[in-house]
Amino acid sequence: MADPRFFDRAGPFPLGVVAELADATLGANADPGREMTDVAPLQSAGPRDVSFFDNRRYADSLGVSTAGSCLIRPSDTGKAPPGMALLVTEAPYLSFARVSRAFYPVPAMEPGIAPTAAIDPTAAIGPDCRVDHFAVIEANVSIGARCHIGPQAVIGKGVSIGEDSRIGAGCSLGHCIVGSRVRLFAGVRIGEDGFGFATERESGIHVDIPQIGRVVIEDDVAVGANSTIDRGAGPDTVIGQGTRIDNLVQIGHNVVLGRGCIIVAQAGVAGSAELGDFAVLAAQSGVAGHIKVGVRGRVAAMSGAMRDVADGETVAGAPAMPIKQFFRGIASLKRLSERE
Amino acid sequence: MADPRFFDRAGPFPLGVVAELADATLGANADPGREMTDVAPLQSAGPRDVSFFDNRRYADSLGVSTAGSCLIRPSDTGKAPPGMALLVTEAPYLSFARVSRAFYPVPAMEPGIAPTAAIDPTAAIGPDCRVDHFAVIEANVSIGARCHIGPQAVIGKGVSIGEDSRIGAGCSLGHCIVGSRVRLFAGVRIGEDGFGFATERESGIHVDIPQIGRVVIEDDVAVGANSTIDRGAGPDTVIGQGTRIDNLVQIGHNVVLGRGCIIVAQAGVAGSAELGDFAVLAAQSGVAGHIKVGVRGRVAAMSGAMRDVADGETVAGAPAMPIKQFFRGIASLKRLSERE
Amino acid sequence: MADPRFFDRAGPFPLGVVAELADATLGANADPGREMTDVAPLQSAGPRDVSFFDNRRYADSLGVSTAGSCLIRPSDTGKAPPGMALLVTEAPYLSFARVSRAFYPVPAMEPGIAPTAAIDPTAAIGPDCRVDHFAVIEANVSIGARCHIGPQAVIGKGVSIGEDSRIGAGCSLGHCIVGSRVRLFAGVRIGEDGFGFATERESGIHVDIPQIGRVVIEDDVAVGANSTIDRGAGPDTVIGQGTRIDNLVQIGHNVVLGRGCIIVAQAGVAGSAELGDFAVLAAQSGVAGHIKVGVRGRVAAMSGAMRDVADGETVAGAPAMPIKQFFRGIASLKRLSERE
């Protein structure tokens, strides 16, 4: 179970309630009144835990698991050991997310403004917000209801934030419009100058282009620790609704990310690139400047898209090509070097 | 136009003044007294905006643009629509940088020391500096005139900073000498220990090598958000005058960067590497330890220089090779795998 | 010599003492009473400096060096110029680490709690700690003796830290157990949510999986500036004893690193990967999710391990393969493209 120093657990919940939370059907032999006290992976789950089976890779674990109940696909129910209460659903992992959240709700936030926070008198802070120690809120900032501004976060002048957003420790925000239910983890940097300059031919001196756009972060976005999102040069940098950005990601100026994109750790998107809805950039991948990645387009880990990626296409390699072609090349090269 | 919550616009400026700022020649039919009120890209510029045409890729946009005036090369003037006032220059983008700056000057900084800043009595802070909330300035620090120390920045003991430099929110500086007109964006880490240790053979224990060098940042350098520059092990780490470093870049101990280098986001330079003046590291590239990149040498995106790069040479791939050879290899591999 | 604004030097030490510190044998003609005042690399060392010769690459420097004394392997003593006092050891670099530390001891820390720090009354702080300006220590934190909590560090509720650990400026720690003699450099983020969510098929909405594990950082670990270590999803994320992590490294949820691992700058380890003791990830490399790297396994710079790496094996490329095979492939491709 989760360390009680850090996590408060709710429940127990009877299996009938778990099934409802999970949008699952309770297996024939399961007792809807049987109480479950926690969630756990198959390997460590005990008789009062809810577990899940979503990845065939772990079929062995399922067979020997002592989990009291398990979220499972209809097609996999035959693999479960007898006696395990089955919670049958087409989407076990999604159901597990919902059940886990019931056992481990988002911790309630105690509203209040730390006396050490430095808040400009012109800032408007909505009801029931929490502002932690040494946060700085500058002139003309507007923050909606129930936001949490973490310790030492800096909200620069004129920034607006919607409702129920959480800004982590030591973040700094400038020149941006942030939506509701947005989460920025610690150390995120929003709205710094884009990397734009022109170079004098003879002297080699770099002359900055004023960066006069903003960052627009739509609702329900999450941005991982120490990631950086530069403001636009003229147009805005836009992070689409529900997009998830992992740690140490770089988003350049003028980039437009669609809805529900997934940008995994240490990936980078160069200036003026565009990603369609639900596009995925795997870890340490990159998209070159001005390139378009289509709807549900995907760039594999450590790969670099230097040409447009079509809707639904997956590319790999640096420079990136269709992923089948990439792996064919790897195989050809292997054979070639073995022949020589 | 730029969001007035974040940006103050100057002007308007008559075309004659714009031409002077741009070091451009006003086209034959242009009225030098006509007033321009803003800058904008070709796609969105209106009749009172100054735009620019620098990239043939955008020739279509030029033809249909409603921009009132446009910075343009002599050889491209024929592509502009009639009625557009032309500002003819060999360097449209550089001219645009200058004109943009006139419309959007660097915001004036209001000097003053926040009462919440923690400043050691032995620190010397020049006239007309601004020190923001919760900044920490330790013993024997020396800061020149008109510097801006952002909120929660930490200036470690003995550090010196020249004039007109700007240290962003939450930066931390130690063991360094920083020049004038330097800008460090938020979250930059200067002068931490280099990654140096020796390992005991039997135990596998790593024993640190004391890192007793400094970081020297010359005048006019800019360092992007959350980048890290370690201090030297014995010699100094040096960032040459006018160099531009983007976000999330790593500079190892003892590295020497020449003047006017460009280090794009998420690139890394390993210990004791040297870059000549005006060298360029594209995004997510790397230079291995002790390697030398020559004057105007370039490493392509996602490429890793493991051998020296000659003056003016461009390399690509990991390990990096001359860029033509790299792309020939990619093409050969493609043909090979198609044949098989 | 090191800049006295930043470093305090101890000594001088007679050669006999240096030999003892280095676990080295003094050469036949060396006077054990001769005093050494500093350490320096071969190129710049003078008659009163201790230097070292460990890398044959620098044999030329050895021959012309004016270093008064030099740590050197028995097999290399013939290469030293006459008159140089030799300190003969099988591990010159390790010996140099020890001698350097004698000349440049870790600076003594003045204990004390800054009056500006915000410390929850339920936090337990051991004797002789130092807590700097604007640090935040939340409820139920436990910190052992002689720790140093840097300016603006945030120690989240319930976190425990052992003895003699040093937390850098602006770090934030949550949901973690930190050992003794651990060093976190500036801007490190420990214990943020892992990147875990399930996606609704029709809507594309990402639903978070509560991340209910911790980060466990064992004794003697060092973590470089702006690196990020996410907490586990259910199991813990574990950083093994003595492991060294460089700057801007990402460690995903549930990752387990063994003892004495070396993770060089900008490398990333994806969720649930495991590294054996003394494994090495070179700069900008990556390990995919759920992959195992064996004891003393190594991943080359810019390479990505997508399959398990055996004990003692070195892999290169993306996707990574045995390093010999990788370089054979590079050579084959070169020949192929030259033929065409």
Reported for C124-132, long-range contacts at CB under 8 A and 24+ positions apart, including other chains, are C126/C163, C132/B136, C132/C169
Q: Nearest Cα to B247, choosing from B268, B225, B262?
A: B225
Predicted local distance difference test score (pLDDT) of residue B339:
82
Helix (H) / strand (E) element for B93: namely helix B92-103
Q: Give per-residue pLDDT as tens, C161-171.
A: 999 999 999 99
Q: Which of C133, C148, C175, C253 is catalytic?
A: C253
Residue C286 bridge partners (DSSP):
C268, C304
Closest residue in chain B to residue C278, using alpha carbons only:
B204
**Tokens standing for C252?**
């995903």
Q: How buried is residue C176: exposed, middle or buried, by Cβ count under 10 Å (0-12/13-18/19+)?
A: buried
Q: Is B196 helix (H, G, I), strand (E, B) or coil?
A: coil
Residue A128: pLDDT band with limits 50, 70, 90: very high
Q: CA–CA separation, A235 vs A219, rounded Å?
A: 20
Block means of pLDDT (10 residues each) for chain B, length 340 residues? 94 97 94 96 94 89 95 95 95 97 95 98 98 98 98 98 98 98 98 97 94 98 98 96 98 98 98 98 98 98 98 97 96 87
Pseudo-torsion of CA A139, A145, A151, A156, nearest 10°? -20
Q: Is A96 within 8 Å of C198 (Cβ atoms)? A: yes
Pseudo-torsion of CA C158, C161, C166, C167, nearest 10°? -20
Residues 60-89 on A with a CB inside 8 Å of C are none
Q: CA–CA separation, B308 vs A170, rounded Å?
A: 39
B59 and B205 share one domain: no
Residue A254: pLDDT band with limits 50, 70, 90: very high
Q: CA–CA separation, C263 vs C283, rounded Å?
A: 7
User: Is residue B246 one of the residues assigned to a domain?
Assistant: yes
pLDDT at C340 over 80: no
Matching residue, tokens 């005991």: B200
Q: CA–CA separation, C222 vs B183, rounded Å?
A: 29
Q: Would you call A110 an interface residue with chain C, using a CB distance cutoff of 8 Å?
A: no
Mean pLDDT, to the nearest integer, of A296-306? 98
Of the candidates B192, B195, B304, the beta carbon closest to that of C186 is on B192
Q: Give per-residue pLDDT as tens, A191-213.
A: 999 999 999 998 999 999 999 99
User: Is residue C308 one of the residues assigned to a domain?
Assistant: yes
Q: Is B3 helix (H, G, I), strand (E, B) or coil?
A: coil
**Tokens standing for C321?**
């393969």
Q: CA–CA separation, C330 vs B198, rounded Å?
A: 32
Of the candidates C103, C130, C153, which is a domain's last residue? Answer: C103
Q: How buried is residue C97: exposed, middle or buried, by Cβ count under 10 Å (0-12/13-18/19+)?
A: buried
Q: How many CB atoms lie within 10 A of CB C235?
A: 18
Residues 141-200 on B with a CB inside 8 Å of C are 152, 154, 157-158, 170, 172, 174-175, 187, 189, 192-193, 195, 197-200
Q: Is A167 within 8 Å of A132 (Cβ atoms)? A: no
Q: CA–CA separation, C34 vs C87, rounded Å?
A: 13
Q: What are the backbone dihedrals phi and psi of residue C21, each rounded to the nearest 5 degrees, phi first? A: -55, -35
Alpha-carbon C147 to chain mean position: 19
Predicted local distance difference test score (pLDDT) of residue A55:
85
Predicted local distance difference test score (pLDDT) of residue A340:
74
Residues 275-304 on A with a CB inside 8 Å of B are 284, 286, 288, 290, 302, 304
Predicted local distance difference test score (pLDDT) of residue B58:
84
Residue type present at position B185: F
Alpha-carbon B205 to chain mean position: 39
Q: How buried is residue B101: exposed, middle or buried, by Cβ count under 10 Å (0-12/13-18/19+)?
A: middle
User: Is residue A270 one of the residues assigned to a domain?
Assistant: yes
Residue A28: pLDDT band with limits 50, 70, 90: confident
Residues 6 or more apart whose CB falls under 8 angstroms from that of C242 comprise B204, B205, B206, C218, C219, C220, C221, C259, C260
B324 and B181 share one domain: yes
**Tokens standing for B101?**
């700056």
Q: CA–CA separation, C104 vs C98, rounded Å?
A: 10
pTM over 0.95: yes
**Tokens standing for C182?**
């651990």
Residue A238 bridge partners (DSSP):
A216, A256
A192 and A312 share one domain: yes
Closest residue in chain A to residue B219, using alpha carbons only:
A205
Secondary structure (H, E, C), chain A? CCCCCCCCCCCCEEHHHHHHHHCCEECCCCCCCCEECEECCCCCCCCCEEEECCCHHHHHHHHHCCCCEEEECHHHHHHCCCCCEEEECCCHHHHHHHHHHHHCCCCCCCCEECCCCEECCCCEECCCCEECCCCEECCCCEECCCCEECCCCEECCCCEECCCCEECCCCEECCEEECCCCEECCCCEECCCCCCEEECCCCCCEEECCCCCCEEECCCCEECCCCEECCCCCCCEEECCCCEECCCCEECCCCEECCCCEECCCCEECCCCEECCCCEECCCCEECCCCEECCCCEECCCCEECCCECCCCEEECCCCEEHHHHHHHHHHHHHHHHHC
Q: How buried is residue C28: exposed, middle or buried, by Cβ count under 10 Å (0-12/13-18/19+)?
A: exposed
Residue A244 bridge partners (DSSP):
A222, A262
Beta-carbon contacts below 8 Å between A and C: 184
Sign of the alpha-carbon dihedral angle for A234, B226, A275, B268: positive
Alpha-carbon A134 to chain mean position: 27
Q: Is C137 within 8 Å of C129 (Cβ atoms)? A: no
Residue B113 bridge partners (DSSP):
B131
Q: CB–CB of B204 and C242 under 8 A? A: yes
Closest residue in chain A to residue B134, using alpha carbons only:
A134
Q: Give per-residue pLDDT as tens, C45-77.
A: 999 999 999 988 888 899 999 999 999 999 999
Of the candidates B226, B318, B329, the beta carbon closest to that of C334 is on B329
Q: Is C133 within 8 Å of C153 (Cβ atoms)? A: no
Predicted local distance difference test score (pLDDT) of residue A147:
98
Reported for C116-120, long-range contacts at CB under 8 A and 24+ positions apart, including other chains, are C116/B118, C117/C149, C118/A114, C118/A116, C118/A133, C118/A134, C118/A151, C120/C157
Predicted local distance difference test score (pLDDT) of residue B241:
98
**Tokens standing for B19?**
């031409």
Predicted local distance difference test score (pLDDT) of residue B134:
98
Q: Would you call B216 an interface residue with chain A, using a CB distance cutoff of 8 Å?
A: no
Q: Is C221 helix (H, G, I), strand (E, B) or coil?
A: coil
Of the candidates A59, A82, A103, which is a domain's last residue? Answer: A103
Q: Is B143 within 8 Å of B126 (Cβ atoms)? A: yes
Q: For A42, left (φ over 0), alpha (ψ -120 to 50), or beta?
A: alpha
Predicted local distance difference test score (pLDDT) of residue B306:
97
**Tokens standing for B144?**
């020149």
Q: CB–CB of C187 and B284 under 8 A? A: no
Q: Give per-residue pLDDT as tens, A86-121.
A: 999 999 999 999 999 999 999 999 999 999 999 999
Tally of structural domains, chain A: 2
**Tokens standing for B331?**
């093409």
Q: CB–CB of B133 and A118 under 8 A? A: yes
Of the candidates A103, A118, A150, which is a domain's last residue? Answer: A103
Q: Is B264 within 8 Å of B245 (Cβ atoms)? A: no
Q: B87: domain range?
A: 13-103
User: Is residue A208 one of the residues assigned to a domain?
Assistant: yes
Q: What are the backbone dihedrals phi and psi of residue A272, each rounded to the nearest 5 degrees, phi first? A: 65, 10
Residue A216 bridge partners (DSSP):
A177, A238
User: Is residue B121 one of the residues assigned to a domain?
Assistant: no
B199 and B300 share one domain: yes
The CATH number of the domain holding residue C224 is 2.160.10.10
- Up-side HSE of residue C147: CA atoms within 13 Å toward CB? 29
Question: Could you say which DSSP state residue B122 is in?
Answer: T
B82 and B206 share one domain: no
B58 and B185 share one domain: no
User: Is residue C118 one of the residues assigned to a domain?
Assistant: no
User: Is residue B285 one of the residues assigned to a domain?
Assistant: yes
Mean pLDDT, to the nearest integer, of A181-185? 98
Predicted local distance difference test score (pLDDT) of residue B337:
86
Q: Give per-residue pLDDT as tens, C132-151.
A: 999 999 999 999 999 999 99
Beta-carbon contacts below 8 Å between B and C: 184
Q: Give per-residue pLDDT as tens, C175-221.
A: 999 999 999 999 999 999 999 999 999 899 999 999 999 999 999 99
C336 and C228 share one domain: yes
User: Is residue B156 one of the residues assigned to a domain?
Assistant: no
**Tokens standing for B109?**
């900084």
Q: Would you call B252 an interface residue with chain C, using a CB distance cutoff of 8 Å?
A: yes
Q: What are the backbone dihedrals phi and psi of residue A16, each rounded to the nearest 5 degrees, phi first? A: -60, -40
- Cβ-based contacts of C6 with chain B (< 8 Å): 157-158, 174-175, 214
- Cβ-based contacts of A58 with chain C (< 8 Å): none
B97 and B194 share one domain: no
Neighboring chains of C (3 or more beta-carbon pairs < 8 A): A, B
Beta-strand pair B189-190/B172-173: parallel
Q: CA–CA separation, B282 vs A270, rounded Å?
A: 10
Predicted local distance difference test score (pLDDT) of residue A1:
78
Chosen for mutation from B132, B133, B136, B176 (greatest number of chain C CBs closer than 10 Å) is: B136
Cα-based distances in Å from A176 to A172, B7, B78, C197, C337: 11, 12, 39, 26, 49
Q: Give per-residue pLDDT as tens, C264-310.
A: 999 999 999 999 999 999 999 999 999 999 999 999 999 999 999 99
Residue B315 bridge partners (DSSP):
B299, B322
Q: CA–CA separation, B145 vs A338, rounded Å?
A: 66
The CATH number of the domain holding residue C64 is 3.40.1390.10
Mean pLDDT, to the nearest integer, of C238-245? 98
Matching residue, tokens 């209106």: B46
Pseudo-torsion of CA B105, B106, B110, B114, nearest 10°? 160
